[in-house]
Amino acid sequence: MSETASLPLHATARANAVLSALRVQLGDKISTNASVCDAHSHGEALPVANMPVGVVFAETSEDVSATLRLCHEHRVPVVAFGAGTSVEGHVTPPDGGISLDLSRMARVLEVNQADLDCRVQAGVTRQSLNAFLRDTGLFFPVDPGGEATLGGMCATRASGTAAVKYGTIKENVLGLTVVLANGEIIQTGGRVRKSSTGYDLTSLFVGSEGTLGIITEVQLRLHGQPEQLSAAVCQFENLDDAVNTAVEIIQMGIPIARVELLDDVQMDACIRYSDLNEYRALTTLFFEFSGSPEAVKEQIAVTETLALDNIGLGFAWADSADERARLWKARHNAFWAIKAQHPGMRLISTDCIVPISQLTALISGVKDDIQKSGLYAAILGHVGDGNFHTIIVTEETDQGYQQALDLDRKIVARALALGGSCSGEHGVGLGKLEFLAAEHGEGALSVMRALKATLDPHNILNPGKLLPEGPVYAG
């Protein structure tokens, strides 16, 4: 399947030929500056990097089309790049590859207020979109935490803190503009809320990690800004009590907006990094409630009762916008809080997900695995949908990295044994390739490879990511 494995030695020369031809069309949108290339050699967390031959800064779908047409013709691998926040090696280019940066595609193209939808270029971030929507009474809720682009969020099928109420990016995308490997521009989906015509190409490209086509525009579902927002914090002496509280909230159907868990290790780091000095270094649940005043009041009453029944230590309220923002900023800065406590150390961030009924068993088992490993690691996550993360700290050595990988594999093995997935939102990239066969089976993987071979016959789109090598379904 992989043609990049047999590329001749002059692969870099071919990439340079493509860049020279593109300069005629795109001018100063091309860069081979060493510092620019270095910034596009890697994402976050996974310690793999490889310099692209050059970087193309696309501003329109036509720029992307011109780039892919030439790369297809010359068999040059190309990797899409948004904000560089991915954590599984998605944006690391192969040898002789070109990085296609979409961050300049940052225009909101239309807002259809009456229909609660909008269309944006792929380089728009969630934060910038919501700033644009501020006076419309609408907002976009999918919140992965970082300054990710919406195109990148679609490519990795991103999720985040608000998924328990609003769903993942998949449920909030109505349609796409996609540039195929040969440079052809297609439209998928549309603006309607449902359709029973044709294959669901939108869902095919969402989560494909730039291996089937490059997403350049996104039609998004918007939501009305809630009438009232309230946030609360509840701490627990026992980890299982906190997880059981979150599980019971979901099982009872309480329409909570967010419920996030930070274990004692993570909370200790956040207290130090974000000055949350009014809290103790205990397992903690962060809650957010939204809706009408009466609905919020009812959600709070039931949630507080459940938490206290599970030996929660009482609710601390954050009703002002500033205090809510402070709490959620601390949650979003969790990775950096751990990093600040361990300068010079390597951090590995992993995630997995299980059915909600299995979450307590999984997190308890992972906590035990961490203690047996002797490594410093924190647990945090979007426990309302069964998803959580482990941030593993290790020495910046091959041996230290191997220890972290061994722990990661134990965590994923536990999740798969409980009917879960090796990733709830980070995606596969390079970091999770080894788990795909166990999760999906060789039959499903061979069909995926057949789709890849059909849409990208020369294997130029993010080669080596998402799909482990193997036989292609032939019919």
Residues 56 and 27 in one domain: yes
Distance in angstroms (rounded) separating the CA atoms of residues 66 and 72: 10
Average pLDDT for 167-193: 97
Res. 271: pLDDT tops 50: yes
Distance in angstroms (rounded) separating the CA atoms of residues 160 and 144: 4
Q: How many domains does the chain have?
A: 4
Cross-strand pairs, 421: 353
Q: Are 57 and 36 in contact (CB under 8 A)?
A: no
Among 431, 430, 398, 393, which Cα is nearest to 412's?
431
Boundary-marking domain end, from 170, 198, 224: 224
Q: Given this model, what pLDDT does residue 1 score?
A: 43
Residues 40 and 90 in one domain: yes
Containing structural domain, residue 192: 108-224
Q: Given this model, what pLDDT does residue 374 score?
A: 95
Boundary-marking domain end, from 319, 335, 351: 335
Distance in angstroms (rounded) separating the CA atoms of residues 313 and 235: 6
For 182, other C-beta atoms within 10 Å of its C-beta total: 17
Sheet holding 98-101, edge to edge: 30-31, 54-57, 98-101, 78-81
CATH of the domain at 21: 3.30.43.10
Q: Given this model, what pLDDT does residue 7 score?
A: 46
Distance in angstroms (rounded) separating the CA atoms of residues 44 and 89: 8
Distance in angstroms (rounded) separating the CA atoms of residues 386 and 271: 25
pLDDT, the chain, mean = 94
Q: Given this model, what pLDDT does residue 45 score?
A: 78
Looking at residue 292, what DSSP letter applies? S
Q: Are 3 and 469 in contact (CB under 8 A)?
A: no
Q: Given this model, what pLDDT does residue 232 score?
A: 93
Residues 97 and 172 in one domain: no
Whether 456 maps to a domain, the answer reads no
Whether 161 maps to a domain, the answer reads yes
Looking at residue 472, what DSSP letter applies? P
**Res. 95 pLDDT band, cuts 50 70 90:** very high
Whether 464 maps to a domain, the answer reads no
Q: Given this model, what pLDDT does residue 146 score?
A: 80
Residues 237 and 187 in one domain: no
**Res. 44 pLDDT band, cuts 50 70 90:** confident
Long-range contacts of 439-448 (CB under 8 A, 24+ apart): 442/470, 442/471, 443/473, 445/470, 446/470, 446/471, 446/472, 446/473, 447/473
**Res. 475 pLDDT band, cuts 50 70 90:** confident
Tokens of 374: 């002797």
Whether 440 maps to a domain, the answer reads no
Q: Given this model, what pLDDT does residue 368 score?
A: 97
Whether 465 maps to a domain, the answer reads no
Boundary-marking domain end, from 59, 78, 101: 101
Residues 235 and 321 in one domain: yes
For residues 392-420, b (16+ Cβ closer than 10 Å) or e, as one string?
A: bbbeeeeebbebbbebbebbbbbbbebeb
Tell me the residue ranges of DSSP E strands in 25-165: 30-31, 54-57, 78-81, 98-101, 108-112, 117-121, 138-139
Q: Given this model, what pLDDT does residue 2 score?
A: 42
CATH of the domain at 315: 3.30.70.2190
Average pLDDT for 306-324: 91
Res. 260: pLDDT tops 80: yes
CATH of the domain at 410: 3.30.70.2740
